[in-house]
Structures are given as C-alpha cells and as structure tokens.
Amino acid sequence: METYDVIIIGAGPAGYTAGIYATRFGLRALIIGKEPGGLANEAYEIDNYPGFAPISGIELMTKFKEQAEALGAGLVPFADADEIERKREGFVVKTADGKTYGGKAVILAMGSKKRKLEIPGEETFRGKGVAYCATCDAAFYKDKTVAVVGGGNSAVRAALLLTEHAKKVYLVYRKAKENMRAMPSVVKKAENNKKIEMIFRAAPKEILGSDKLETVVFEQNGKGLHLKVDGLFVEIGRIPETGIAKKLGVALDEKGNINVRKDMSTSVEGVFAAGDITNGSNGMEQIVTACAEGAIASETAYNYIKK
C-alpha cells in the first residue's frame, strides 16, 4: 500500500488547489478524482476567475491539473474512493477497484452532483431529451427548441450557450424574476438575447413524449402550461457528494453539507474538507471560493501533520 502525508479526495477546483498548496508545504500529496475537473468542466465560459479572460471550464481545470502534477502532486484519475478507514497511524482510503492508499490526513473535496426534478417522465426520457449538461449536449439541438429549468448562474449560462445551437430557448424559473439567484450581469445577457424567452412562476410537473421528449408540463398561476420542446436541460442546483463523509462519521449540517470550522477542519480529527461540499462559504458555490477553501485546508492539514 502506497502511503502519503495527505490524501485529497476530489479533483475539482478545491481538490486541485489543495494538492498545489500541499506540495508547497512539502507534503507528499495524492489526489483521487472520480471525475477530473468536476462540475467545473461543464461551464462553457468562465468570466469571473481572476487573471483569465473568458475561458471554458475544461480549459481552466486542465491548467489546474497540469500545475498540481508539475508541482509534484500524485493523481489517480477516474477512481471512485468509496471508503475511508481510520487507523492508529492515520487513514486508509479504499477505491472501488480494490486499491488502497494510506495517509496521515485526508481532505474531502468531492464536490456535488446535479439535483434532479423528481417528476414523472424525468427518468424515462433521460438521454432522450432530458439532459443535465448543456456544454455536453448543446450541439445535439441545432435548430431545435429547448427549455432550461432553473434560476441560478448555471441555468442562465446554459440558456446562453444553447442559443448558439437552438433556434428557440425557454428559460423557466419557478419563482419571480427578482428571486433569481443568477448574477444581474448574466441575467441581462439573457434578456438581451432574442432567442431566449424567460418564463417565471412556473414549476415543472411532468414530462411527456413517445420515443423521446415532446412536451414539458408546468404549473403557472394554478394553471397548466404545456411547452412543446425537443430538449429539457435541468439546472436547479446541486447535492453535496458526502456519502463517504457520512460513513466516516463527519458531522453535516441540515442541508447535508459538511460542517467546517474556519480552518476547514471537521468533526473528525485529521479530516478536513473544502469546496461545494462544505458550509464554509455560505452557499457561494464559486470556483474562487472552492480554491480558497482548498488552500486553507492544506495549511491546516500541514499544521496537523507537523504537530
């Protein structure tokens, strides 16, 4: 079994940054990432990460990965860490393929997964019109009509991307416009795009079709609203990937995020956390905040190992 000073589980912005800083502290670090780049890969354009002109998520995450590896961090890509065992001398991390890795400390940075609508027809038409990644699937809807459900940055950005392919894009949000969580500058771009029609106070209720999606039924002001579309992109938020943390006994908050102190330490000694899975940034799920938490977690892990 290979042993390291710190094992970082998750290869998104928080995980890569934790790896970069861990190596700068002289620690032997290993990053285990089920999906290198994480959800950041799905951003077709990032224009608010300091120091970069608009850049795609995949490009930015590739730079993160290259820097972490160049500085000496080990990387096990496409590996699913499914168990952490506490030992007297530290921790043993087991992956789904049966491999084990030892570490004196662990940083949890698994990120989150897309939240589903949980309505009739969603699973039936998944991959047959229902999609969760505009960056991945936008090109399949050239000259077609699509809808995006959600009111955050990811939803509005997905709608903007889809206008480069689709002839018509509905952006549907269950609350009023003033309740949208997206940044005003992003919303303004959508409002100025002639291909986008914004619909408010409409909640998705059912997805209908035969061999593929044909109609999405919404409830708006107590009445049914039927939108005939070729595709539906779901962008209604994320769920923290904290399954492995629960098994280890790490304390979570009422939303399912890992409770962290200011130094990114958790309720389990030697275990730290960073990124979208924590409650450290008050729900501000941004690449820049994930990076900050990853850096802090590495310093705290270094101090823990040193003493």
| Structure token pair of residue 225 | 């609203």
Helix, strand, coil content of the chain in percent (nearest 5): 30, 30, 40
Q: Which residue has the tokens 């006994």?
A: 249
pLDDT band at 307 (very low <50, low <70, confident <90, very high): confident
Are 222 and 244 contained in the same domain?
no
Q: Which of 5, 137, 230, 276 is catalytic?
A: 137
pLDDT band at 134 (very low <50, low <70, confident <90, very high): very high
Whether the per-residue pLDDT at 164 is higher than 90: the answer is: yes
Are 228 and 138 contained in the same domain?
yes
Say if 124 falls within a structural domain.
no
Are 103 and 150 contained in the same domain?
no
136 assigned to active site:
yes
Say if 122 falls within a structural domain.
no
- Alpha-carbon distance of 161 to 262, in angstroms, equals 36
Are 227 and 256 contained in the same domain?
no
Are 254 and 266 contained in the same domain?
yes
pLDDT band at 172 (very low <50, low <70, confident <90, very high): very high
**Domain final position from 216, 234, 252:** 234
Whether the per-residue pLDDT at 283 is higher than 80: the answer is: no
pLDDT band at 47 (very low <50, low <70, confident <90, very high): confident
Encode pLDDT of 73-126 as tens digits: 999 999 999 899 999 889 999 999 999 999 999 999 999 989 999 999 999 999
133 assigned to active site:
yes
Say if 120 falls within a structural domain.
no
Q: Which of 47, 97, 136, 253 is catalytic?
A: 136
- Alpha-carbon distance of 156 to 150, in angstroms, equals 8
State the average pLDDT for the chain. Answer: 95
Are 16 and 84 contained in the same domain?
yes
Contact indicator for 161, 44 with CB cutoff of 8 Å: yes
291 assigned to active site:
no
Q: Which of 80, 82, 133, 263 is catalytic?
A: 133
pLDDT band at 228 (very low <50, low <70, confident <90, very high): very high
CA dihedral 205→277→260→7, nearest 10 degrees, is 160
Are 141 and 155 contained in the same domain?
yes
Residues of the chain above pLDDT 70, percent: 100
Say if 227 falls within a structural domain.
yes
The mean-pLDDT minimum among 43-57, 160-174, 241-255 falls in 43-57
Higher pLDDT, 44 or 286: 286
Average of pLDDT values for 184-211?
97
**Domain final position from 209, 234, 259:** 234
Say if 119 falls within a structural domain.
no
Phi, then psi, of 184 in degrees rounded to 5? -50, -40
Average of pLDDT values for 151-162?
95
Say if 168 falls within a structural domain.
yes
pLDDT of residue 42: 83
pLDDT of residue 282: 73
Are 98 and 6 contained in the same domain?
yes
Are 225 and 259 contained in the same domain?
no
Number of domains present in the structure of the chain: 2
Whether the per-residue pLDDT at 63 is higher than 90: the answer is: yes
Give the chain's length.
307
Task: Say how many Å lie between the first and final Cα of the chain, rounded.
Answer: 24
Average of pLDDT values for 256-260?
95
Are 192 and 142 contained in the same domain?
yes
Average of pLDDT values for 201-208?
98
- Alpha-carbon distance of 16 to 69, in angstroms, equals 9
The mean-pLDDT minimum among 86-95, 198-207, 280-289, 298-307 falls in 280-289
Are 206 and 244 contained in the same domain?
no
Are 90 and 141 contained in the same domain?
no
Say if 78 falls within a structural domain.
yes
- 184-191 and 153-162 are packed helices; what angle lies between their axes, rounded to 10 degrees? 30
**Domain final position from 180, 210, 234:** 234
Q: Which domain holds residue 271?
A: 2-113+238-306
CATH number, residue 166: 3.50.50.60
pLDDT band at 55 (very low <50, low <70, confident <90, very high): very high
